Structure 1
Amino acid sequence: MDKKSIWKSYRFPIILVIGIVVGALLGVTLGEKATVLKPLGDIFLNLMFTIVVPMVFVSITTAVGNMVNMKRLGKILGNLVLTFIVTGLFAAALVLTVVNIWPPAANTSIQFANAEMAEAASVGDMIVNSLTVNDFSGLMSRSNMLPIIVFAIISGICVSACGGEESPVGKLLNNLNDIIFKIVGLIMKLAPIGLGAYFANLVGEFGPELIGDYGRSMLVYYPMCLVYVAVAFPAYAYFAGGTVGVKRMLKNIFSPAITAFATQSSVATIPVNMEACKKMGVPEDISNIVLPMGATMHMDGSVLSSIVKIAFLFGVFGQPFTGVGTYAMAIVVAILSAFVLSGAPGGGLVGEMLIVSLFGFPAEAFPLIATLGFLFDPAATCLNASGDAIASMMIARMVEGKEWLTKRIASGEVEA
């Protein structure tokens, strides 16, 4: 590739990285004074979060409503669940191996702060509240992403049953979908400035405290994330589309990965992921369903971070992190804690409360694990969100067959 083609292919992620690096340098230089830049970052995030609810609802309803064959929807959803579970188990197997070889709490000395924890809801209540809301107004909030997705799927099925994309509502939905993505395109032009300002504030406010007693956990977690990205992501992409799939993944994965790392929100990354999937060749009806659901259900990075946090707490409180029962419980709790994330920055606090509660750790464990959550969240969200795009490729292969990508390229549906 010559310089022009490299710039054309990677222009947006390069500009994003430059914006973030400049922001980080400003944060180091200005220190706490960098908070003056925080409003610029907040404006960008607020715009992204404002558009995400109508985007998720309309894109899923349109994708499902346009389907004449409901068997295809069932096939997409079935393979989606299978893909999310299998990739989550691979992530769990990796992290359980790593934390047993390199215990994250070894030689760590931590002073606990006094903290009071609110009473955690039961697992049953969390499942109900994750999937449903008790009032229609609850569907207007990004904190209820799974209920929005459930309602959108139901709405799409009913649109399909009443005429699909040729019906008046179907045509309206398709037009709304186009309009929303035009809005997303305009908002994304602000990304380099917004993310740079956001990062400047984070580094300025928390930079000096990012290592400390948590250094060993970070040395365990971040290299493990790199190993997962270097091994699992190409393997998944190869399964999805062979060498062509790997090349397309590598060419288009950086924008969602960088956006997720900087915003620490899978939901805020959905618009960027949509564009990346389109360039990767994933059919829109698949990506429009997989990406919003993946933002709250496909959490490989959060599974990795949650099990490291659990192993860390076991070590701090002098409990042996061994045994099949302990490992199984850790996997279940990690998946549950990831499942209740709202997709917003800081949403992991709910999952961390769940970890502390279900394992019976004392209340003092919460501020400890919350600090780890802050340190792990950028990489965890990066893996979660970029993994959603790769999962979309895998699901496309399972729904449309092994040669799905080469056929779409040959037919001209996707640029070669």
Structure 2
Amino acid sequence: MTKSNHVSPPKSANPKMGLTARIFIGMIAGIVIGALLNRLFDDSGDFSFSVLGIQVSTYALLVDGIFNVIGSIFIASLKMLVVPLVFVSLVCGTSSLSDPSKLGRLGGKSILLYIGTTAIAISLAVGFALLVAPGEGLNLETNATYVAKEAPSLGQVIINMMPTNPINAMAQGNMLQIIVFAVLFGIAMTMTGATGKRLTAVFDDLSVVIMKLVTILMNLAPYGVFVLMAKLFSTVDFDTIKSLIKYFALVMFVLGVHAFVSYPIILKLLSGLNPLILLRKMRDAALFAFSTSSSSATLPITMETATKKLGVKSSVASFTVPLGSTINMDGTAIMQGVATVFIAQVYAVDLSLSDYMMVILTATLASVGTAGVPGVGLIMLAMVLQQVNLPVEGIALIIGVDRLLDMTRTAVNVTGDCMVACIVGKSENELDTHTYNDLEAGLKEEEVHLEDINKKSN
């Protein structure tokens, strides 16, 4: 017998690049292109050309035209999935619970954790701001004014949680009302026997299809992230950032401390899980959140991360993650803490220890009391400033850099959403630790193979 001379082909030295790497490359490329456009089309002028006798600005064509259109479509495609994903997944999760009283435990644990992390976030912000003093010695003047919207009372927020028209709530994207209706609908399905079981099978199939749609959009993310970053950095006023560099750097630093120190410690103490795995698996969702600046728009990716990569069962993730996207505002609380100290120092107003304690309490409670209200971050800040008799007009000083900070604090918020989902899931024995510890979990599901469509059609 002779040995076969067949030699297996060598493995490819250039495996397909992962989704995280492609998103990161798209983000960096967008930032570079945007910054170059910002410098190229400054006060020195613009390049224009004629099309059919019409003068077209190169800057307007790129930024207000191509980048704006593609970026807006990308954001709209993400938001398109939020309502059906939350409703379907929450109905599936609720109907799968054998013990309806478990919902009370899930809600209680989730809300307490979200409020607790918000209190820690703003305490860190106020503490570091007093230590660094970002507003001392600054003489910032602005002609801009800011008129604060009136925040609803806590009682009114609770009343508004009950939908009078569920279809209208879905059309408007009112997340708290959608959550309430989905929970009630799921409980009703559980109580209707065979009819409910047949309907549960339909919702389970819908959930699979929606998650596949999320996967398709995730694979388009590198292009969406590129145009969003290019558009943003082509319009950023770097002079404003220079004048507020101390405030800007401090907020970024505290956000980093909360994400990479506070969250890991809380996760380890309350669940025993390895926090480094959480941070590693949050990369895709964090990059999405950074580029979109919207917890709601990132919600489909956050849900996919919690269930497919972190191993949180749908019965828990479908409740804690949408709730977190509405009431978890750790990043916003950090901005408010630093901004309050900053504005007080700019206006030379001395705040007492009791004032700072009131800032922490007000911001923590306001994160729940203003849930689901448009422009909630600035409304909360206005409430905090009014509580300690600081001029609300001071908000106008920091609006110029808030867009960039909003990107980072949204990434922190979605990380907090998944951390709470993991803690609650572990405490309820609804977390698959094997999936959580598997660094490759969920990666295969991210791949989209269009050739499979041809095979199935044949």
TM value normalised by structure 2: 0.79
> Residues of 1 paired with 2:156 and 2:117: CA distance?
23
Aligned to 1:306: 336
| Aligned match of 1:60 | 90
Larger CA deviation: 172-181 vs 206-215: 206-215
- Structure 1 partner of 2:447: none
Structure 1 equivalent of residue 221 of structure 2: 191
Q: Does 1:256 align with 2:285?
A: yes
User: Structure 1 residue 214 and structure 2 residue 244: aligned?
Assistant: yes
**Separation in 2 of the partners of 1:174 and 1:185?**
17
Query: Structure 1 CA distance, aligned partners of 2:218 and 2:412?
Result: 21
- Whether 2:34 is the aligned partner of 1:27: answer yes
Instruction: Please tell me whether the aligned partners of residues 356 and 362 of structure 1 are also in contact (alpha carbons under 8 angstroms).
Output: yes
Deviations 1:108-138 (A, max 9, x none): 2221224362651443466247634554454
> Is contact 1:309-1:372 (8 Å) kept?
no
SS at match of 1:400: coil
Greater Cα shift, 351-360 or 197-206: 351-360
| 1:374 paired to 2:403 | yes
More helix by share: 1
Residues 1:268 and 1:114: Cα distance change in structure 2 (over 3 Å): closer
Q: Quick one: distance in 2 between partners of 1:394 and 1:166?
A: 30
In the other structure, the counterpart of 2:139 is 109
Give secondary structure in 2 for the equivalent of 1:392: helix
Match of 1:272 among 296, 301, 304: 301
Q: 1:165 to 1:212 in 2, by over 3 A?
A: farther
What's 1:398 paired with?
A: 427
Rounded Cα–Cα distance in structure 2 between residues aligned with 1:240 and 1:356: 34
Counterparts of 1:3-18 in structure 2, within 5 Å, are 11-18=18-25
1:371 & 1:234 partners in 2: Cα distance?
Answer: 32
Shift of 1:356: 4.5
Please, which of 202, 223, 228 is the counterpart of residue 172 of structure 1? 202
Paired residues, number: 406
Contact 1:52/1:142, CA 8 A, preserved across alignment: no
Looking at CA atoms only, which structure, 1 or 2, has the larger radius of gyration? Answer: 2
Segments of structure 1 that go 5 or more residues without pairing to the other structure are none
Give the CA deviation at 1:338. 7.1
CA distance in 1 between counterparts of 2:122 and 2:292 reads 24
Choose the corresponding residue for 2:417, options 388, 391, 397: 388
Deviations 1:275-322 (A, max 9, x none): 222212212211111111110112221211111122222222222233
Letter in 1 for 2:26: G
Partner secondary structure for residue 174 of structure 2 = helix
Shift in alpha-carbon separation, 1:78–1:334, aligned structure 2, 3 A: closer
- Counterpart contact for 2:23–2:287, Cα < 8 Å: yes
What SS is found at the alignment partner of 2:254? helix
- Measured in 2, the distance between the counterparts of 1:130 and 1:209 equals 42
In the superposition, relative to structure 1, how do residues 254 and 216 fare at CA in structure 2: closer, same or farther (>3 Å)?
A: same
- Name the amino acid aligned to 1:64: T
Name the amino acid aligned to 1:159.
Answer: M
2:69 matches 1:39: yes
Q: Distance in 2 between matches of 1:81 and 1:113?
A: 40
CA separation in 2, counterparts of 1:7 and 1:71?
A: 48
**Contact 1:337–1:355 at 8 Å: present in 2 too?**
no
Report the CA distance shift for 1:350/1:328 in structure 2 as closer, same or farther (over 3 A). Answer: closer
Q: 1:365 aligns with which of 394, 406, 420?
A: 394
1:69 aligned counterpart, secondary structure = coil
The worse-fitting range, judged by mean Cα deviation, of 24-33 and 46-55 is: 24-33
Question: Structure 2 stretches of 5 or more lacking a match?
Answer: 1-10, 42-58, 443-458
- Answering whether residue 161 of structure 2 is matched by residue 154 of structure 1, we say no
Question: 28-37 vs 176-185, which deviates more?
Answer: 28-37
Larger CA deviation: 90-99 vs 291-300? 90-99
Residue 73 of structure 2 corresponds to residue 73 of structure 1: no
Cα distance in 1 for residues equivalent to 2:25 and 2:373 = 25
Cα distance between partner residues in 2 of 1:238 and 1:4: 39
Q: Which moved more, 1:79-88 or 1:162-171?
A: 162-171
Instruction: Write the letter of the residue equivalent to 1:249.
Output: L
Instruction: Give the secondary-structure state (helix, strand or coil) at the position aligned to 1:211.
Output: helix
Structure 1 residue 169 displacement after superposition: 2.4
Quick one: structure 1 residues 382 and 119, their matched pair in 2 at CA, closer, same or farther if it must change by over 3 Å? closer
Greater displacement, 391-400 / 228-237: 228-237
**Could you tell me which amino acid in structure 1 is paired with residue 349 of structure 2?**
Q
Which residue of the partner structure matches residue 231 of structure 1? Answer: 261
Q: Does the C-alpha gap of structure 1 residues 141 and 110 become closer, same or farther in structure 2, counting only changes over 3 Å?
A: farther
Q: Which of 113, 122, 125 is the matching residue for 1:92?
A: 122
Query: How far is the alpha carbon of 1:381 from its aligned partner?
Result: 0.7
Change (3 A) 1:116 1:250: closer
- CA deviations on 1:160-206 (whole Å, 9 max, x unpaired) are 22238952322222222122112211222211111110111110011
Distance 1:179 1:124 in 2: 37
Identity score, percent: 24
The Cα of 1:372 is off from its aligned counterpart by 4.9
Contact 2:151 2:370 in 1 (8 A): no
Q: Is the 8 A contact 1:133 1:139 kept in 2?
A: yes
Aligned to 1:193, what secondary structure does the other structure show? helix
Partners of 2:171 and 2:14 lie apart in 1 by 39
